[in-house]
Structure 1
Amino acid sequence: MRLSALISAYLGFCRWLDRLALALCVSAGLFLAGAVLVVVVLRYGFGTGFVELQDAAAYAFAVLMALSIPVTLARGGHVRVEVVSERLSRAYLRAADAVALVIFLIPVFGLLIRAFWPDLVYAWSIREGSVETGGLGGLFLVKTALPVAAALTILQGLAQVLRPAPGKDSA
């Protein structure tokens, strides 16, 4: 009974993280669309540029792409490469997903965090800014989105494994 309460709490926490990541994705996507529209109008309509806005659009795109991974996984929108999966039972697909998530997803995204960590620490130590002259600062904050997205992906993968099968009582 105690284990099911812990699993239920974990799944609730993952749902909360998913809603937060989705809100950030929606915000980044809307900002990106607006920023690109303004950049295009300024460039082709008025013959001027705004480097800070271009950087902001690039930052929004980076955050959107990174956080889209755990958001998509939480909704079961990941890509299946199996050609015969539509002919297999739901039980088999659920077991195959669980094995793939544990054997591949967790180690790969854990390795991504480990490999990127020194670069992230360095970016934070120098408070890395834009590579463009006159661009926005805060690139170190955007670079943080990659390991955060990897951690969220691991958490969502574990949630997928722990979530009750459809048709059973779900918490």
Structure 2
Amino acid sequence: MLDRLATAFCVIACLALTASVLAIVVMRYGFGIGFIELQDFASYTFAVLLIFSVPVCLRRGGHVRVEVLSENLSPTYARIADAVAVLLFLIPVFGLIIWADWADLAYSWSIREASVETGGLPGLFIVKTALPLGAAMMILQGIAMVLAPDAQRTAEDEPAL
């Protein structure tokens, strides 16, 4: 269910980003109008798209493997290599992201941090929440990948969006 939620966030963010960038370009170059709030909105949606696309990519098997030897070895080796990678790299790295970001996130929520631009959008603290949330989703997806290796889909198995 979390992978569907992350995919929905990505689809919504992609559509919103496309619409906002198109509006920014038309307003700026067509009418000579600048709109700081819309530029902040585009930045916020790009951040959300980038953060939530990482667990979606892992779920769909779209991550990059740097294993020269795996081509000649059995599928059992690939499952073991995935489990080792998740336990030694994925969980500690994304756990560190959550841990390192926690104090900044708490401060951001306490002051209800807004855009650094004068006249920009409020709610930057909500966007900053996406980073530890995305990291937690990566950890959960990695654990799910280790516990049920056959449940991982490839990009070809997914329906078109």
Q: TM-score, normalised by structure 2?
A: 0.91
Kindly report the root-mean-square deviation, in angstroms, between the aligned alpha carbons of the 2 structures: 1.1
The number of equivalent residue pairs is 151
1:72-91 CA-partner distances (Å, limit 9, x unpaired): 11111111011232222211
Amino acid at match of 1:71: V
Q: Does the CA-based 8 Å contact 2:70-2:77 persist in structure 1?
A: no
1:1-56 CA-partner distances (Å, limit 9, x unpaired): xxxxxxxxxxxxxxx01001100000000100110000001010001111101100
1:136-167 CA-partner distances (Å, limit 9, x unpaired): 0000000000000000000000000010547x
Please tell me whether residue 81 in structure 1 is matched to residue 76 in structure 2.
no
Please tell me whether residue 107 in structure 1 is matched to residue 92 in structure 2.
yes
Structure 2 residue runs of 5 or longer lacking an equivalent are: 152-161
Q: Distance in 1 between matches of 2:118 and 2:74?
A: 56
- Candidates 56, 66, 71, aligned match of 1:71: 56
Deviation >3 Å, runs of 4+: none
Cα separation, partners in 2 of 1:69 and 1:164, compared to 1, 3 Å: closer
Q: Which residue pairs with 2:44 in the alignment?
A: 59
Q: Which residue pairs with 1:44 in the alignment?
A: 29
Q: Which residue pairs with 1:5 in the alignment?
A: none
Q: TM-score, normalised by structure 1?
A: 0.86
Q: Distance in 2 between matches of 1:48 and 1:55?
A: 15
Q: Which residue pairs with 1:30 in the alignment?
A: 15
Q: Which residue pairs with 2:155 in the alignment?
A: none
Amino acid at match of 1:49: G
Q: Does the CA-based 8 Å contact 2:109-2:125 persist in structure 1?
A: yes
Amino acid at match of 1:125: S
Q: Does the CA-based 8 Å contact 2:79-2:149 persist in structure 1?
A: no
Classify the secondary structure of the residue corresponding to 2:120. coil
- Matched residues, percent identical? 67
Higher mean displacement: 45-54 or 84-93? 84-93
Amino acid at match of 1:91: T
1:99-131 CA-partner distances (Å, limit 9, x unpaired): 100111001100110001000000000000001
Q: Does the CA-based 8 Å contact 2:24-2:38 persist in structure 1?
A: yes
